[in-house]
Every structure is written in structure tokens, then in C-alpha cells.
Amino acid sequence: MRMALSLAARGLGNVWPNPAVGCVIEQEGRVLGRGWTQPGGRPHAERMALDQAGDAARGATAHVTLEPCAHHGKTPPCADALKAAGVARVNIAIGDPDPRVAGRGIAGLRAAGIAVATGIMAEEAHRQQRGFLTRVLLGRPMVTLKLASSLDGRIATAGGESQWITGPEARRRVHALRLSHDAVLVGGGTARDDDPLLTVRGLGEVAQPVRVVASALLDLPPEGALAASARQVPLWLCHGPRADKARIKAFTDRGAVCVAVPETGGRLELAGLMRALGARGLTRVFCEGGGQFAGSLLRAGLVDELHGFGAGIAIGAEGRPALGELGLERLSDAPRFRLRRLEQVGGDVHATWERPDG
Ligand code: AOF
Ligand code: ZN
């Protein structure tokens, strides 16, 4: 199962709306087939592993990170494929909550006389598939927030200088994190001030994540670099009901997709924004600021995982803070995360935090 989980990780960020699943066909410790969900979500992991194993799958054990599917989608059900291949045993990490599957995969295998065990490395699988699970169960993608800051939590000097706070190793790590997500999301302020490309760079030829900008008024220049690349890398602009129609058209003409999202109190309703992204199939969204937008996400309780990059530099109170106001009255109301991993990356610190109730 450990091997199946590490195969599954290859699919993270490039299989949405599907889950990234891994499958290993094994007999007496010999690996006969390895599979993982392929780019775009198909073929499924089991199909790939079974094709590799061929006739040797008869009597073998399949280790799968998610309950095999039971529905006739664009491909026949994996549970049927496992039966047809004659596997004797299927070890499953976690069940598939997709209503088309939801226990039917396991029941079908058992009805065919196959020995099924569940809950193997379930915690790891749950964490890995959090994006898919969140989309199916809550109707929104999993939200990861990145904060890269100085020792004193600043992301730029008062003048806005921010390029070299963390080092090249940390920046490379951020690009790898972008790549393991379906989309990269920033607030309108960042898109306007920095006109960032939001693409993955320095990691070879890769399938780029969707770029998403949240801007209530869509007050960004359609002539910028971001929009200029919309035909090469998908660009979704989430705007509110007051956004200028001509501006929407100018962006759409350049190849961007404009997504209408409800507003509350003159700002985009972030839960509604996330539901819109979930409805479009996104399972894992990586948010990269700015501070106002990151603060709003935290306030709305929408951050599932947080990556903090800390540099050994002090900027002072006049610098720009990593987070906007949270409007807290008591410390007990503060969003709190649980530390999952702590690493040194070049000269910086990379801390991975997760919400404690996840
Ligand atoms: C598996 N193995 O590798 C994956 C599964 O649109 P379809 O037909 O590809 O079906 C998508 C659904 O299949 C998805 O919602 C989830 O329930 C399951 N994904 N299942 O057995 C896989 N990716
Ligand atoms: Zn399947």
C-alpha cells in the first residue's frame, strides 16, 4: 500500500475532477503491476496495473488506495476488471464517497468471492485524497495556503520590494507545490500589482495548473501578461455581479474564462467562489496571496492546509504583513493549525500545517 500511495502521488494536480489513485498487483512479495490514475483522470489506476500484470494477476493481491469504481463511466468499472483478471484478494485504503460507487465496488468484489480488506494506511490515503474527498463531500476543492515571510511575518518592504525574501530552493519547492495542485489562486490585488504569470517554471515540460484570480470588480488590465497567456495556460477570472461587462468581454476575447460569483458586503463570497470552483471539477487549489486575500480565506475557515516558508530576514513593522486583518476578538477564535512536517529548504524553513479537524 505504501508503494501504491507513492504511485498515486504522481497524479496529484493532473487528474481532476478525478482522484489520484494508486494500485499495485502483487503476489508473495513480487510486484506484477503498478498503476496510477493517468493525466486527465483516465485510465484508472487498476486498469493500468492489471494491463501490466497480464495473466499473472490470477490469484494475486491488488493493493488500491481507493475503493475500485463500480460505475460505467467513460471506462468499464475497475471492480469488474479486477474480477475478470481473477485476483484473489483486494486490499483497500479508503472507500470512495462518489455516489456512483459508495460501497458498491467493495460489495461487488465480495459477492464474487474475492477477499477484501479495508482501512489499510487509511490515514495517509485520506490525507492524500483530501482534495477529491472535499469536492465530493463538501462540493468545494481542498484549499492550500502558502505564506512566505520574513522572521517577523512580512512579505515585502513598505515600498513593495518582495523578490528575494526566501531563497531559490524554497521558490523551487513552491513551484513543485503548484504542480501538485489543480489550480493556483490569487486575489485581485496581487494580480493587479504584480501581474504574475502563476505558471510552474523550472521543472521541465509539465501540465500547467489552471490559474484563477478572484476579483470582485475585475479591475485588472486585460492587456497584462496574465491575460496575454490565457490561450496557452487556462485562466479563470472569478468576479462579482458588479464587474464591468465590457471588461468581462475583453478578457473572454483573450481566452480567459469568466466565472460569476455572488458577493456579500461588497466582497466576493469566498464559500460561493469555492463552490463554483468545485462545480467546475477542481479538487486541489493552491492560494498564493496576497495578504488581504489570504486573511479573508482564513477568516472564512476555508484553509485546509498551510505551507509556511520562513526566511531568516527581519523587515520590521513598516513592511507589508503576510496576512490582512482577521478581526479576532479573542485568541480562542484564532485559526489554529497542527504541525505535520518541518524541513529545512536551502536556508529557509518549510513548515506544513493542517487543520486539526481534518
Ligand atoms: C478507480 N480508480 O484510478 C480512479 C477512480 O469519469 P470516470 O468514469 O473516470 O469516473 C470517475 C470516478 O471514478 C471518480 O469520481 C471516482 O469515484 C472514481 N475514480 N476510481 O477505481 C481510479 N481515478
Ligand atoms: Zn475505476
Enumerate the domain spans of the chain: 1-128, 139-354
Q: Which ligand is nearest to the CA of 38?
A: 1
ipTM, 2 decimals? 0.92
Task: Measure the CA–CA gap between 233 and 210, rounded to whole angstroms.
Answer: 7
State the average pLDDT over residues 332-347.
96
Task: Measure the CA–CA gap between 42 and 15, rounded to whole angstroms.
Answer: 8
Q: Residue 190 pLDDT more than 90?
A: no
Lowest mean pLDDT among 88-92, 191-195, 225-229, 253-257: 191-195
For the chain, give the percent of residues with pLDDT over 70: 100
Q: Which phi and psi angles does 24 have, rounded to 5°?
A: -125, 130
The grid cell for 52 is: 501490466
Q: Residue 72 pLDDT more than 90?
A: no
pLDDT at 61: 98
Q: Whose CA is nearest to atom 14 of ligand 1?
A: 18
Which one of 10, 15, 47, 69 would you pick to mutate in the ligand 1 pocket, going by the greatest count of ligand atoms within 8 A of its CB?
A: 69
pLDDT at 358: 65
Please state which CATH class domain 139-354 belongs to. Answer: alpha beta
Three-state DSSP class for residue 8: helix
Q: Which ligand is nearest to the CA of 81?
A: 2
Which one of 12, 44, 284 would you pick to mutate in the ligand 1 pocket, going by the greatest count of ligand atoms within 8 A of its CB?
A: 44
Where does 146-290 have alpha helices with state H? Answer: 168-179, 188-194, 225-228, 245-253, 270-279
Q: How far is the CA of 69 from the centre of ligand 1 (A)?
A: 6
Q: Among residues 269, 214, 261, 212, which one has the least CA distance to residue 240?
A: 261
Pocket lined around ligand 1, Cβ cut-off 6 Å: 18-19, 21, 37, 41-42, 44-46, 66, 68-69, 73-75, 78, 96, 98, 101
Q: Residue 162 pLDDT more than 90?
A: no
Query: For 205, which DSSP code?
Result: S
The atom number, within ligand 1, closest to the CA of 69 reads: 21
Q: Is the dihedral of CA 42, 48, 54, 59 positive or negative?
A: negative
Task: Measure the CA–CA gap between 185 and 213, rounded to whole angstroms.
Answer: 6
- Residues paired with residue 31 on neighbouring β-strands, in sequence order: 26
State the average pLDDT over residues 28-37.
97
Q: How far is the CA of 228 from the centre of ligand 2 (A)?
A: 38
Which tens digit of pLDDT belongs to each residue from 111-135?
A: 999 999 999 999 999 999 999 999 9
Q: Report pTM.
A: 0.95
148 in a known ligand binding site? yes
Q: Residue 239 pLDDT more than 80?
A: yes
- Mean pLDDT, the chain, as a whole number? 95
Residues annotated catalytic, as ranges: 46
Q: Residue 243 pLDDT more than 70?
A: yes
329 in a known ligand binding site? no
Which tens digit of pLDDT belongs to each residue from 287-327?
A: 998 889 999 999 999 999 999 999 999 999 999 999 989 99
332 in a known ligand binding site? no
Task: Measure the CA–CA gap between 52 and 54, rounded to whole angstroms.
Answer: 6
More confident residue, 201 or 142: 142
Q: Among residues 319, 320, 314, 295, which one has the least CA distance to residue 306?
A: 295
Q: Whose CA is nearest to atom 4 of ligand 1?
A: 44
Q: Residue 169 pLDDT more than 90?
A: yes
Q: Whose CA is nearest to atom 10 of ligand 1?
A: 73
Q: Among residues 297, 85, 20, which one has the least CA distance to residue 185?
A: 297
Which tens digit of pLDDT belongs to each residue from 202-228?
A: 888 889 999 999 999 999 999 989 999
Q: Residue 88 pLDDT more than 80?
A: yes
- Please, which pLDDT band fits residue 76 given cuts at 50, 70 and 90? confident
Starting at the edge strand that comes first in sequence, how are the strands of the sheet with 305-310 ordered?
Answer: 257-260, 235-239, 210-214, 183-187, 284-287, 142-149, 305-310, 348-354, 338-345
CATH-assigned architecture of domain 1-128 = 3-Layer(aba) Sandwich (3.40)
Q: Residue 20 pLDDT more than 90?
A: yes
Task: Measure the CA–CA gap between 238 and 215, rounded to whole angstroms.
Answer: 6
Q: Whose CA is nearest to atom 22 of ligand 1?
A: 44
